[in-house]
Amino acid sequence: MRQLIVFNNQTLDGYFSGANGDIGWSHRAQNDPEWKKFTADNAQGDGTLLFGRVTYELMASYWPTPAAAQNDPAVAGRINNLKKVVFSRTLDKASWNNTELVKTDMVDYVRKLKQGYGDPLVIMGSGSLVSQLTQEHLIDEYQVIVNPVVLGKGRTMFDGIKDMLRLKLEKTRTFGNGNVLQCYQPATS
């Protein structure tokens, strides 16, 4: 069975995007060599990326560009070649390399993907996907990078969750730039 992993940046006050959708705050602490190595190593993994429309459009507007290839060649090269799935009722096409557009029931589609074998499924951003799939108990691991930033308002990746979800901390890692990786799995009791 395939694992479904969330990998998201979050502010200290719990937001994965600002009130206007801004995520620029998550890229301000890039001058840490350990952090750069972590992000480059993390990008080398295999898997299928899952996106909602908003995150897909944001990522597709940057990663296939010459600027991305120049600023972060390891990540750009890898993310452009990975298989990607975008869930949207409004998009007519998905033109980013190796992207499948899914307009059918997202929860059912993800359940079917998880029943197969292969590399992990990874959600980056896409708070609406995270909250919907969390509510359906389909996420196996939450990898959250807590950034030392406070926004005061924004969106959490768990907007709309109806039932409390208990998580178990599996590991942490602190970086010189102040970012902290926290990995959680759903608690069994």
Q: In this predicted structure, what is the pLDDT of residue 71?
A: 86
Please provide the size of the chain in residues.
Answer: 189
**What gap in Å lies between CA 80 and CA 84, rounded to an integer?**
9
Domains and CATH numbers, the chain: 4-186 (3.40.430.10)
User: Which residue type is seen at 187?
Assistant: A
Backbone angles phi, psi at 38, to 5 degrees: -60, -50
Q: What is the pTM of this model?
A: 0.91
Q: Residue 16 carries which DSSP code?
A: S
- Contacts (Cβ under 8 Å, ≥6 apart) of 7: 42, 122, 123, 124, 143, 145
Print pLDDT tens along the chain (189 aa).
Answer: 899 999 999 999 999 998 888 888 887 666 788 887 887 777 666 789 999 999 999 999 999 999 999 988 888 888 999 999 999 999 999 999 999 999 999 999 999 999 988 899 999 888 899 999 999 999 999 999 999 999 999 999 999 899 899 999 999 999 999 999 999 999 986
Helix then strand count (H, E) for the chain reads 6, 10
Q: In what order do the strands lie in the sheet with 83-87?
A: 99-102, 83-87, 48-52, 121-124, 4-11, 141-147, 180-186, 167-174
**DSSP E strand stretches across 118-166:** 121-124, 141-147, 154-155
**What gap in Å lies between CA 175 and CA 189, rounded to an integer?**
31
